[in-house]
């Protein structure tokens, strides 16, 4: 196969995936179509496609990822249906000052992995923000900045889970490297966004901490702590869901309804598409071709963990799709892939995704608050650049020490 044919095949396949994702087509389906196009350019036969599909569906990593991604929205739904989340928010309003509440509300809702979730927190921020006389631009920035703090450190982040599953690198080792960026994100948000707000003292409240804040946080704490203790993530999620049902005194019939409403088949289909795309790249030798061709052009290998994911994150505005397209290239470009390398790749995607004008949370939040987008970007771009600098410094420092 000529280099021209390989480059053309990659450009057409990846371009198709990006175009379909931008059209809001389920990205699993988009990746399957992209994989077929890619495979045809790299001379895969119909039998090859079927064999890869069979391998994907029976692969242990695929099955584990599908189960985990299916259970996370069920946990989120259980917190909603039992009223635990509502009680948690009520507890926050009773115990925190208004300016801390506007920051905490989007952070709490950010724990719930759902498309368009920014619209859940926007009305609450609007209510509290009006008390503080915040501008539409400030409300928008607060909703976006604090909603996405968990991207760096949540073990329930589907993008982090995919990155770990695709590369075989422990999830928590990546999170550990991300902690510097995670903490900086929180601190910079507080000092540059929240602290300048004139504080309004909240009236004393008789809200019971046990029935609100503590009770609402138990299911998530159970899931995270059990997983850290060594329990498989899928089982940990089930434990979190069961604890939510127990605390909410949910009857078995209602629990089944929550499972049914929380299960999102599109997410499961997306995981299957993700893994099919990954294995087509692997068995067709696409990743090896990209690396060898790039090296022949003198392109440095470290661009695969910086510029490439940065570009995918901005163009697709879809972090999981960006990880799937970036991770195979990285695993082929380096003999050993370390958590520090993957942290740089991941931070590159998260930063560019957050400032992309196609970012769904940005679109929905600006539609709700009607801010001047230029003013919103004056806040977001410098702050996310600082995030990126911290992520790069942390990652490359650790790389240089190993």
Q: How many CA atoms lie within 13 A of 225 on its CB side?
A: 7
pLDDT at position 201, please? 61
Structure tokens at 320: 């999981």
The pLDDT, as a whole number, for residue 288 is 81
The residue ranges of every structural domain in the chain are: 136-201+300-402
List pLDDT tens digits, range 235-273.
998 999 999 999 988 888 889 999 888 887 877 887 888
pLDDT of residue 143: 92
Angle at which helices 215-228 and 60-81 pack, to 10 degrees? 160
Cα distance from N-terminal residue to C-terminal residue, the chain: 38
Neighbours of 139 (CB within 10 A): 23
Q: For residues 256 and 273, what is the distance between their CA atoms, to the nearest angstrom? A: 27
Q: What is the pLDDT of residues 143-157, one digit of tens each?
A: 999 999 999 998 888
Contact 123, 140 (CB under 8 A): no
* CB within 8 Å of 24: residues ≥ 6 apart: none
**Cα angle vertex 378, ends 372, 381, to 5°?**
125
DSSP category for residue 211? I
Gap between the Cα atoms of 341 and 319, Å rounded: 17
Q: Supply 207's token pair.
A: 């809200």
- Comparing C-alpha atoms, which of 311, 316, 317 is closest to residue 361? 317
Q: DSSP states of 265-331 as a string?
A: HHHHHHHHHHHHHHHHHHHHTHHHHHHHHHHHTT--GGGGGTHHHHHHHHHH--HHHHHHHHHHHHH
Query: In angstroms, rounded to a whole number, what is the distance separating the alpha carbons of residues 317 and 270?
Result: 16
Letter string b/e over residues 218-238, b meaning 16 or more CB atoms within 10 A of that residue's CB: ebbebbbebbeeebebbebbb
Handedness of CA 220, 223, 229, 232 (dihedral sign): negative
Distance between CA atoms of residues 39 and 1, nearest Å: 13
Please classify residue 253 by burial: count the beta carbons closer than 10 Å to its beta carbon, then call 0-12 exposed, 13-18 middle and 19+ buried. Answer: exposed
The per-residue pLDDT for 115 is 57
CB within 8 Å of 273: residues ≥ 6 apart? 26, 27, 28, 29, 30, 31, 32, 35
CB 6 within 8 A of CB 41: yes
Q: Collect the ranges in the chain with pLDDT lower than 50.
A: 204
Q: What is the pLDDT of residues 301-340, one digit of tens each?
A: 899 999 989 988 887 778 888 898 899 889 888 989 999 9
pTM above 0.85, yes or no: no
- Yes or no: say if 337 and 376 are a contact pair by the CB < 8 Å rule: no
Q: Do residues 134 and 197 touch, judged by C-beta distance below 8 A?
A: yes
């Amino acid at each position: 196969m000529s280099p021209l044919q390989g480059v053309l095949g990659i450009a057409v396949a990846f371009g198709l995936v990006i175009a379909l994702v931008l059209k809001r087509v389920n990205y699993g389906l988009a990746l399957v179509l992209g994989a077929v196009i890619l495979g045809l350019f790299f001379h895969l036969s119909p039998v090859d496609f079927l064999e890869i599909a069979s391998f994907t569906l029976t692969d242990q990593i695929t099955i584990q990822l599908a189960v985990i991604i299916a259970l996370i929205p069920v946990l989120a739904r259980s917190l909603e249906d039992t009223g635990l989340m509502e009680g948690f928010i009520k507890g926050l309003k009773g115990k925190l000052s208004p300016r801390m509440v506007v920051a905490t509300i989007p952070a709490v809702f950010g724990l719930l992995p759902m498309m368009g979730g920014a619209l859940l927190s926007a009305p609450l921020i609007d209510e509290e923000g009006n008390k503080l006389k915040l501008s539409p631009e400030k409300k928008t920035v607060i909703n976006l900045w604090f909603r996405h703090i968990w991207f760096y450190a949540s073990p329930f982040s589907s993008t982090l889970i995919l990155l770990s599953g695709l590369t075989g690198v422990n999830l928590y080792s990546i999170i550990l490297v991300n902690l510097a960026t995670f903490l900086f994100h929180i601190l910079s948000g507080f000092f540059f966004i929240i602290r300048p707000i004139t504080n309004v003292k909240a009236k004393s409240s008789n809200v019971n901490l046990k029935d609100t804040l503590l009770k609402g946080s138990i299911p998530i704490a159970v899931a995270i702590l059990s997983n850290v203790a060594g329990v498989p993530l899928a089982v940990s999620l089930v434990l979190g869901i069961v604890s939510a049902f127990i605390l909410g005194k949910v009857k078995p019939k209602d629990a089944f309804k929550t499972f049914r409403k929380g299960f999102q088949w599109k997410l499961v289909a997306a995981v299957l598409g993700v893994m099919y795309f990954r294995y087509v790249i692997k068995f067709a030798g696409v990743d090896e071709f990209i690396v060898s061709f790039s090296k022949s052009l003198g392109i440095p290998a470290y661009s695969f963990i910086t510029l490439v994911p940065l570009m995918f994150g901005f163009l697709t505005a879809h972090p999981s799709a960006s990880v799937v397209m970036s991770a195979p290239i990285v695993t082929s470009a380096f003999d050993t892939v370390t958590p520090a390398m993957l942290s740089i790749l991941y931070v590159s995607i998260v930063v560019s995704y957050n400032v992309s004008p196609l970012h769904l949370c940005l679109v929905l939040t600006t539609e709700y608050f009607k801010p001047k987008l230029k003013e919103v970007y004056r806040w977001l771009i410098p702050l996310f650049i600082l995030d990126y600098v911290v992520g790069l410094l942390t990652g490359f420092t650790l790389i240089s020490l190993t």
